Amino acid sequence: MNNVIVRDLVLVGGGHTHVIVLRRFGMNPLPGLRITVVARDIDTPYSGMLPGFVAGHYSFDDVHIDLGPLCRFAGARLIHDSAVGLDLERRRVHCANRPDVPFDVLSINTGSAPAMAGTPGAAENATPVKPIGGFVARWEQLVAAVRSSASVQRVAVVGAGAGGIELVLAMHHALSRDSGHPTPEFTVFSGADVILPAHPESVRRRFDKLLEKRGIVVERNARVVDVQADAVITADAERHETDHVLWVTNAGAPPWLAETGLAVDERGFLTVHDSLESTSHPGIFAAGDVAHVLNHPREKAGVFAVRQGPPLEANLRRAARGEGLRPFRPQTKFLSLISTGNRSAVGSRGGSFSVAGRWVWYWKDRIDRKFMRRFSELPEMTHDERPPRGGLVDASTLDAIAMTCAGCGAKVGSTVLTRVLATLSIHRRDDVLVGLESPDDAAVLDVPDGHVVVQTVDALRSLVDDPYDFARITTEHALGDIYAMGAAPQAALAIITVPFGIESKTEALLEQIMSGITEVLGEARATLVGGHTSEGAELMIGLSLTGHARRDELLRKSGMQPGQTLILTKPLGVGTLFAADMRARAKGRWIDAAITSMLRSQRAAPGVLAEHGVTACTDVTGFGLAGHLLEMLRASGDVAAQIDLDTLPVLDGALSTISAGLHSSLYPDNLSARPALGIEIPENDPRIPLLFDPQTAGGLLASVPESEASACIAELRAGGLVDATVIGCVVARAPGEPRLQLRDGGTTSAS
Ligand SMILES: Cc1cc2nc3c(=O)[nH]c(=O)nc-3n(C[C@H](O)[C@H](O)[C@H](O)COP(=O)(O)OP(=O)(O)OC[C@H]3O[C@@H](n4cnc5c(N)ncnc54)[C@H](O)[C@@H]3O)c2cc1C
């Protein structure tokens, strides 16, 4: 009972403040407190380096903080989704694409976005600099347009604060270096009669001169009031023709916050006390751009968000413990370093004095890189090394849990289960005669005439921290067996073990798990008919599934025929990526893409494969592609497989993690298939170890006539299996020949 959860801290948004909070909780965890991060973006852009990215001085990874390893370091669950609302009474965060996330203590650090709502046409025709993902995509389009167009592109930048000025200079630098193409015409629109209104006169003068020198036009007293497809209209009714409009105006508040019931200021930002706690709701905090500190209003800038990290972390800790909060006073002056696009910068710190030059840029670069290293080079800490500090789990909590366990054979209480089941929407089927709607001692299922029953069972230990995703992945994983048999799923029994805990936490956990299971079953037109839920040392989900197939349409592993094509429906690499993730060595976006792939439903596959004459099929899971292929080859007689290493679909990052020697614990066992296949593992080709990488919710491996392959792939992709690929073929095998031949760039080697 070491990991009993007593309180939930939910961090919404992975902004500049929360990344510091996470790092600090990683250095000094609070036992009994579970941290969950709900983040729209896995990569948090560091605003100070963003213009340098656009100018071409930094890579994407240089300027982004990866929430994946950071959350792993902090022991926090990472949920990749947007918060869209709050239920303040039940203390839950509503998310765009998943069930609510309950909290005891909440902190919001979702930033701001340029205010566009009041300007007609802006939302349709202009690109805001935030969210940054949208801006980066638009920037790439702009670069492509400049490169492909013979005419000079006209770019309007609306907003002449530090963000707008830095950005236009960075874009100008990036595109004027682009030899062979005309440099675009840039125009900056300032609503005031100056640029950089919040900066000292000497800084303004430097930038005025610089913009003029670079041929960047500044329109002053030119508030943009309308944005059309090919022009912006200013308040004086002037029409300025343009090809691209970038929006970098003052920060606006995210609209959903005003509807939460939390106190907001007249612009819609959350009002907070000096402690960063909401002025209206205890236990709810806000920081960074999204917050308005009533006693210390400041401009919206990353430097303030960063400085709020340590006091916010300390107060979140106090709130979790039920202790009094402490006030924090933000800095009044701060060092402002604005880059000029060409590895030069202007620096000031309030007052009238400013400095400029390449050395200022290198100074800024050093400060920025040092900040980023705090997140990319996280200290190695094992749980044992972490300093134990007074946690939230007291003796009475443990006693209460122990009493419950002893009293009922570790079975989760029926009232908890009943309440959870009442929240679910369970798919109904006419062939379920007795199911959860009228529960009995056992479920009763009808079998349609001419069909046979197909049964399978699978159980997984928690692979991802988010119980909802874990439940969905486990369900897809179990369904893979049914699809591989060419069958349609009918019903499932769930066997769930949840960690020992207090009732409210167990109930919330079960809700997430059960909604994940029933959602995926529903999409597969199958239903949950019963199960067993108990408490134990760790989270485990098992599913026993029943499906139906016509006897003559059943698919088996046997039946591969020489001349056929081998199709794999999902990419490889799950095992190595999650092994890397456990050690905080996988990028968050790799894990995110792997989860998306695991969650990709294969329900269309049996029908498509049958239509295209499939004769053998299996699903690729724990034994890896090589192990499952070997089972098919053995069952199919005198055949061998030729695999094209070049065409193997691979998850992003998997070749790097394999090359780094990061393997799942099942990998060494899977290598035992090598002699039977006749494969050696070379030093320098990570694609071959990948063949032995265990998969969770992996793809189907199917053998179809060659003439059907391309149509079959097209239909599988249209059915959602976007990575379905031909990976090789089946050939006749003479006695003594290896069962697997690997082809690389058209050459075949009998390994
Ligand atoms: C071009 C440019 C350059 C800048 N340069 C500087 C600079 O040099 N120095 C400086 O101090 N300031 C700078 N700023 C301002 C700075 O970007 C912001 O003040 C800063 O980003 C605010 O940080 P934050 O932590 O509040 O929010 P953000 O950094 O915006 O982070 C918020 C995070 O919350 C997530 N999120 C948003 N909505 C949701 C939701 N509904 N649910 C879940 N997650 C959500 C987003 O994914 C985002 O990663 C610049 C701004 C721009 C536009």
Q: What CATH number is attached to the domain comprising 106?
A: 3.50.50.60
Quickly tell me which residue has 């792997």 as its tokens. Answer: 594
Q: Quick one: which H or E segment has residue 66?
A: strand 64-66
Cα–Cα separations (whole angstroms), residue 301 to 13, 15, 131? 16, 12, 15
Tens digits of residue pLDDT in 543-599: 999 999 999 899 999 999 999 999 999 999 999 999 999 999 999 999 999 999 999
| Per-residue confidence band for 610, with pLDDT thresholds at 50, 70 and 90 | very high
The more confidently predicted of residues 277 and 182 is 277
Residues 535 and 506: beta-carbon distance below 8 Å? yes
152/94 same-domain check: no
Residue 128, preceding peptide bond in cis (omega within 30° of 0): no
Residue 735 lies in a domain: yes
The more confidently predicted of residues 438 and 102 is 102
For 295-344, the DSSP string reads TS---S-HHHHHHTHHHHHHHHHHHHHTPPP------S---EEEE-SSS-
Say yes or no to pLDDT of 3 above 80: no
Ligand 1, atom 11: closest residue by C-alpha? 302
- Kindly state if the Cβ of 110 falls inside 6 Å of ligand 1: yes
Say yes or no to pLDDT of 749 above 80: no
287/168 same-domain check: no
Q: Which atom of ligand 1 is nearest to the CA of 112?
A: 30
> Can you tell me the distance from the alpha carbon of 87 to that of 92, in angstroms, rounded to the nearest whole number?
5
Report the pLDDT value the prediction gives residue 177, as an integer from 0 to 100.
Answer: 67
Cα–Cα separations (whole angstroms), residue 572 to 193, 636, 648? 58, 24, 8
Q: Which atom of ligand 1 is nearest to the CA of 337?
A: 8
530/582 same-domain check: no
| Per-residue confidence band for 356, with pLDDT thresholds at 50, 70 and 90 | very high
Residues 312 and 21: beta-carbon distance below 8 Å? yes
For 148-183, the DSSP string reads H-SSPPEEEEE--SHHHHHHHHHHHHHHHSSTTSPP
Handedness of CA 463, 25, 14, 374 (dihedral sign): negative
Instruction: Calculate mean pLDDT across residues 84-88.
Output: 98
Instruction: Calculate mean pLDDT across residues 594-613.
Output: 97
Q: Which residues, 6+ apart, have CB-to-CB distance to 673 below 8 Å?
A: 623, 624, 626, 627, 630, 692
- Answer with the one of 492, 526, 552 that is the final residue of a domain: 552
Say yes or no to pLDDT of 746 above 60: no
β-strands 540-550, 488-499 pairing: antiparallel
- Residue 148 has φ and ψ, to the nearest 5°, of -100, -10
Average pLDDT of the chain is: 92
Say yes or no to pLDDT of 323 above 60: yes
* Count of the separate structural domains present in the chain: 4
576/664 same-domain check: yes
Residue 100 lies in a domain: yes
323/448 same-domain check: no
- Kindly state if the Cβ of 506 falls inside 6 Å of ligand 1: no
Residue 2 lies in a domain: no
Residue 338 lies in a domain: no
Q: Which residues, 6+ apart, have CB-to-CB distance to 461 below 8 Å?
A: 538, 539, 540
- Kindly state if the Cβ of 288 falls inside 6 Å of ligand 1: yes
Residues 548 and 512: beta-carbon distance below 8 Å? no
Residue 340 lies in a domain: no
Say yes or no to pLDDT of 352 above 80: no
Residue 541 β-bridge partners = 460, 496
Say yes or no to pLDDT of 179 above 80: no
Q: What CATH number is attached to the domain comprising 647?
A: 3.90.650.10
Cα–Cα separations (whole angstroms), residue 522 to 286, 434, 477, 590? 38, 17, 15, 28
| Per-residue confidence band for 89, with pLDDT thresholds at 50, 70 and 90 | very high
Tens digits of residue pLDDT in 109-123: 999 988 888 899 999
- Kindly state if the Cβ of 155 falls inside 6 Å of ligand 1: no
Tens digits of residue pLDDT in 717-734: 999 999 999 999 999 999
> Can you tell me the distance from the alpha carbon of 202 to that of 464, in angstroms, rounded to the nearest whole number?
53
Residues 427 and 525: beta-carbon distance below 8 Å? yes
> Can you tell me the distance from the alpha carbon of 54 to that of 133, in angstroms, rounded to the nearest whole number?
13
- Domain encompassing residue 195: 122-251
Say yes or no to pLDDT of 611 above 70: yes
273/260 same-domain check: yes
Give the tokens for residue 306: 């960063």
Q: What CATH number is attached to the domain comprising 515?
A: 3.30.1330.10
pLDDT > 70 fraction of the chain, expressed in percent and rounded: 95
Residue 536 lies in a domain: yes
To test the ligand 1 pocket, which listed residue (110, 135, 331) has its Cβ within 8 A of the most ligand atoms?
Answer: 110
pTM of the shown model: 0.92
Going from the Cα of 111 to the center of ligand 1, the distance in angstroms, rounded, reads 5
- Kindly state if the Cβ of 44 falls inside 6 Å of ligand 1: yes
Instruction: Calculate mean pLDDT across residues 152-171.
Output: 94
18/99 same-domain check: yes
| Per-residue confidence band for 387, with pLDDT thresholds at 50, 70 and 90 | very low
The more confidently predicted of residues 291 and 535 is 291
- Kindly state if the Cβ of 107 falls inside 6 Å of ligand 1: no
Tens digits of residue pLDDT in 260-274: 999 999 999 999 999
- Answer with the one of 217, 251, 285 that is the final residue of a domain: 251
Residue 241 lies in a domain: yes
- Answer with the one of 224, 251, 278 that is the final residue of a domain: 251
352/269 same-domain check: yes
Residues 650 and 644: beta-carbon distance below 8 Å? no
570/620 same-domain check: yes
Residue 729 lies in a domain: yes
686/611 same-domain check: yes
705/619 same-domain check: yes
Quickly tell me which residue has 């090589």 as its tokens. Answer: 626
To test the ligand 1 pocket, which listed residue (16, 20, 47, 49) has its Cβ within 8 A of the most ligand atoms?
Answer: 47
- Kindly state if the Cβ of 14 falls inside 6 Å of ligand 1: yes
Give the tokens for residue 514: 């059960």
Which of these is catalytic: 71, 95, 405, 408?
Answer: 408
Q: Which residues, 6+ apart, have CB-to-CB distance to 252 below 8 Å?
A: 112, 113, 114, 115, 116, 117, 267, 268
> Can you tell me the distance from the alpha carbon of 154 to that of 465, in angstroms, rounded to the nearest whole number?
47
The more confidently predicted of residues 747 and 140 is 140
Contacts of 56-62 with CB under 8 Å at 24 or more apart are: 56/173, 56/174, 56/177, 57/343, 60/136, 61/587, 62/369, 62/372
Residues 63 and 375: beta-carbon distance below 8 Å? no
Instruction: Calculate mean pLDDT across residues 268-282.
Output: 97
Q: Which residues, 6+ apart, have CB-to-CB distance to 661 below 8 Å?
A: none
Q: In what order do the strands lie in the sheet with 154-158?
A: 127-128, 244-247, 154-158, 185-189, 217-219
Q: 617 an active-site residue?
A: no
18/97 same-domain check: yes
Q: Which residues, 6+ apart, have CB-to-CB distance to 627 below 8 Å?
A: 670, 673, 692
> Can you tell me the distance from the alpha carbon of 456 to that of 460, in angstroms, rounded to the nearest whole number?
14
